[in-house]
Amino acid sequence: MYKRKFFFIVFEGIEGSGKSYQSKKLFINIKKKNYPVVLTREPGGTIGAERIRKVILKDYFHKSKSEKFHKYTDTLLYLAARNEHIQNKILKAKRSNKIIICDRFIDSTIAYQVYGKKVEFKLIDTIHKYILQKIKPDITFLLTVKANKASSRLNKRKIKNRYDKFSKNFYQNAQKAFIKLAKKNKKRYFIFDNSTDDKELEKKILNIVLSKLK
């Protein structure tokens, strides 16, 4: 029998891995079973955090190449969005003993900002000590994907944002970083290769979650 409690599920992976699709599928499947569940994303998830997301994207695609946000400005904006998200959505879900499914969280910041853009980990770690409020995922699903398959999926997207336009090398390095992070805590992470559009993956993910909720 399900005992109502706060449960935090995160989906991680590079663009084209299918994490957003699977997070939405999990949300739908859990909701069908009448569990109190919330679907959200980072950066974003709240009114304030979504505003910050737009600022980041607008700067990245600004026509003038002479001046763009410095990588630390960029990182601080992501962390500001996370603080808004935690304060106004995640902590509320925790107080209400809800299940929350989040498309990206801390690992994306480390994989993209630290490993990808060479931002100092100490900066991110220090700020996290103030804003995380002891929030950490109960389960993280890491979806990996082969480079060619990821590119094929991204090319099919009608609307692209900054995350869809990095180089293949950047994505490959980011994916290696995700895997490295996952291997440090095997009990919490579940890694799936989502290169083949496995129709059973949705069920596998749901069964893992349901087993953890019992």
Distances (CA, A) of 156 to 78, 151, 152, 166, 198: 27, 9, 7, 16, 18
Helix (H) or strand (E) holding 125: helix 121-131
In this prediction, residue 100 carries a pLDDT of 98
Cα 194 from Cα 192, distance rounded (Å): 6
* Sequence-ordered strand ranges (E) for 96-170: 99-103, 139-144
The letter for the amino acid at 120 is: E
At which residue do the structure tokens 């601080």 appear?
76
Give dist(CA 175, CA 17) in Å, integer: 10
Q: What is the pLDDT of residue 140?
A: 98
Residue 39 pairs in a beta bridge with 101
Residues whose CB falls within 8 Å of the CB of residue 172, separated by 6 or more in sequence, listed in order: 147
- Map out the domains of the chain with their CATH numbers: 7-40+99-213 (3.40.50.300)
Mean pLDDT by 10 residues, the chain (214 residues): 88 92 97 96 97 84 70 95 98 97 97 94 97 96 87 68 69 93 92 90 97 91
List residues bridging with 192 in a β-sheet: 143
So what's the pLDDT on residue 61? 59
Predicted TM-score (pTM) above 0.75: yes
Is there a contact between 116 and 173 (Cβ–Cβ < 8 Å)?
yes
